[in-house]
Chains A and B, each alone.
Chain A
């Protein structure tokens, strides 16, 4: 009786020690859910969701503090992916956070630019090159189209232009089968 108790207690101690070791040794740093959500978000860093960047929004979603339909650049497809990941119902994009637009990039009218550097400070991804009292320009491949540089510009020289489709980026359309109504004989 006593030996049985001792054996069971011994097993419990050994297993407990193993579990304790495993919880320290194999501890997952950071929140894997946040990273998964962050991977779905478009990384525009526009702040339209009400959070300062995509990562904070991902953290808020993971904590349940934000809805999944607050990201206009991610659009409907992004919401669907988030709903799939989190096992939530799909919701249409919330209107107060903005509307889905085609991908665009900012373009600076270089003749008008006065070199105030305000846009450089606003750009979340360092895609604007320029120095004080020098002309600024946007590195188009790095621009995420977040529009954050547009309001600070004192001379309104920044315009958002949609990215045109080129032969390289063109996609074949989803095959659509025309259905013809059969004429009654």
Chain B
């Protein structure tokens, strides 16, 4: 039975280029000489390193502890020796570096003790913790920690679980092959996710250009109840989370809200498969399937240990001579790698070799003619040309008014633009600039508040000090005046000014004398502190020094006239 399908607006239909890399089954990439495992591989904080240089690690041993609840753990992809924990360049458009663990594999692939868990007997909370500690993140590319997506919280119950096997981006086939070859494991993983979310039904969305994957998934889910494999029309970006939810359920999730508020949540098939490995086999996420395709001799899919240098992978598929750059991700949303000695991370779904023949350089950027092609293509129902104007003019307030943060950066607008404008680059610039401004504003607001509080505190302290001093002086005066002339002290100065003066001098003198006496007493009363636990010799030494001090004091007291 086919569920009625909904539609999302816009989208494009680029040539899919899936056949190149689906001819061969998934192969295992050999272990490289060095593995570089970045500690930050998911949204949220950077996990703290748990290993030091020189330490031996086993395959699957935890090397990065999740910081708080907002990131997932990192594990050693193979057994070997940690060579260093240092900053290395990440496969990121910025080309910046971040802490990585460098491991020299010993080739033995010795696992840690793996303890399979019977998920049906476990509570959802325990399973969520297990997913976090097994480093399970979304393998569709966004690498959002899965345990956070499964939290029901105040948002409501997840009634429908969407499993994303659409894989709409051209060239990429890692999910396709995973479904063809490992449908059984995926379905077991889906059952775990379904148990945690206590979802009633599961919809597996697969684009209809993958008949073999659909058949394999149908066969694997034949026995399951409430699980349905739904072929969806092939049209980029049908695999976008919001687009797939819209197509399968008709629910539209606005910006800033999350799926569970509407009773749905979406997971990639790769995530489901790794959840199955983590729970039922006790194997944390240490490898992923990577598509190597494009301008190469032997395109295909490889199961790659996380941290494998991309150079080593490229050697397996032999890029052709005219390759001019390598793209991580697909041609629509991916980015050009700054170098190729960077490691594979949990986000690396595809390495695409590009050549001028395959991806002819777009012509020079020309002025926007407001043709509206981008608006028709936008799956988020935005007005890309307006966003372009505002981003270009750095008019961020206006860009936000036109909902720039709803943009999923799918690249449809730039794909159809007849003026060859790199629209997404402008949106990315605007979005990251706005986030930076927001951060600066928060910081300056905090600084203002702290500065004002500090001023307030300083003033208060000064006032309190002045008051204390005044009270003390008054008390001392009263004490002296009380000793000599009980009635005279409180006399208002205005009534008898002239006779009050010598008397005031008198009190002042008495006060000074009292202060000198106090200071002297304090000086003599100084006792060595912290002498309780000292050795007897030390104590003797201290006594000796004290005696010398007393002698000096005696000498100081004798009048200095003697030698004269």
Chain A residues engaging chain B, CB cutoff 8 angstroms: 38, 42-45, 53-55, 124-127, 141-142, 144, 165-167, 169-175, 177, 179-180
A170 x B425 contact (CB < 8 A) = no
Which of B93, B94, B432, B453 gathers most chain A CB within 10 Å?
Answer: B94
Which of A42, A55, A166, A172 gathers most chain B CB within 10 Å?
Answer: A172
A172 x B432 contact (CB < 8 A) = yes
A170 x B448 contact (CB < 8 A) = no
When distances are taken between beta carbons in the complex, the residues of chain A under 8 Å from B425 are 172, 175
From B98, B428, B439, B451, A124 is in contact (CB under 8 Å) with B451
B359 at the interface (CB under 8 A from A): no
Interface of B is mostly: helix
Assuming A167-B92, A171-B433, what are 16 further A-B pairs, CB within 8 angstroms?
A42-B444, A43-B451, A45-B447, A55-B448, A55-B451, A55-B452, A125-B447, A126-B453, A142-B450, A144-B443, A167-B94, A170-B432, A172-B429, A173-B429, A175-B426, A177-B365
How many residues does chain B have at the interface if contact means C-beta atoms less than 8 Å apart? 32
**Separation in Å of the A48 CB from the closest CB of chain B?**
15
Q: Give Cα A149–Cα B424 distance, bound, in whole angstroms.
A: 44
When distances are taken between beta carbons in the complex, the residues of chain B under 8 Å from A170 are 92, 94, 96, 432
Q: Give Cα A184–Cα B429 distance, bound, in whole angstroms.
A: 35
**Separation in Å of the A39 CB from the closest CB of chain B?**
8
B450 x A53 contact (CB < 8 A) = no
Q: What 1/0 mask marks residues of chain B from 420 to 438 whose CB sits below 8 Å from any chain A CB?
A: 0010011011011100100
From A144, A165, A172, B447 is in contact (CB under 8 Å) with A144
Q: Give Cα A42–Cα B446 distance, bound, in whole angstroms.
A: 11
- Number of A-B contacts defined by CB within 8 Å: 72
A171 x B432 contact (CB < 8 A) = yes
Q: Give Cα A53–Cα B453 distance, bound, in whole angstroms.
A: 13
When distances are taken between beta carbons in the complex, the residues of chain B under 8 Å from A144 are 443, 447
Q: What 1/0 mask marks residues of chain B from 284 to 325 whose CB sits below 8 Å from any chain A CB?
A: 000000000000000000000000000000000000000000
A43-B444, A144-B447 in contact; A125/B432 too (CB < 8 A)? no
Q: What 1/0 mask marks residues of chain B from 394 to 438 whose CB sits below 8 Å from any chain A CB?
A: 000000000000000000000000000010011011011100100
B483 at the interface (CB under 8 A from A): no
When distances are taken between beta carbons in the complex, the residues of chain A under 8 Å from B96 are 165-167, 170
When distances are taken between beta carbons in the complex, the residues of chain B under 8 Å from A173 are 429
When distances are taken between beta carbons in the complex, the residues of chain B under 8 Å from A175 are 422, 425-426, 429
**Separation in Å of the A132 CB from the closest CB of chain B?**
16
When distances are taken between beta carbons in the complex, the residues of chain A under 8 Å from B455 are 53
Q: Give Cα A165–Cα B428 distance, bound, in whole angstroms.
A: 17
B447 x A44 contact (CB < 8 A) = yes
A43-B444, A167-B96, A171-B436 in contact; A126/B450 too (CB < 8 A)? yes
**Separation in Å of the A61 CB from the closest CB of chain B?**
16
A43 x B448 contact (CB < 8 A) = yes
Closest to A124 in B: B451
Closest to B451 in A: A45
Closest to A121 in B: B458
A53 x B451 contact (CB < 8 A) = yes
A169-B439, A175-B426, A175-B429 in contact; A43/B454 too (CB < 8 A)? no
B450 x A125 contact (CB < 8 A) = yes
Q: Give Cα A21–Cα B436 distance, bound, in whole angstroms.
A: 45
Q: What 1/0 mask marks residues of chain B from 448 to 478 whose CB sits below 8 Å from any chain A CB?
A: 1011111100000000000000000000000
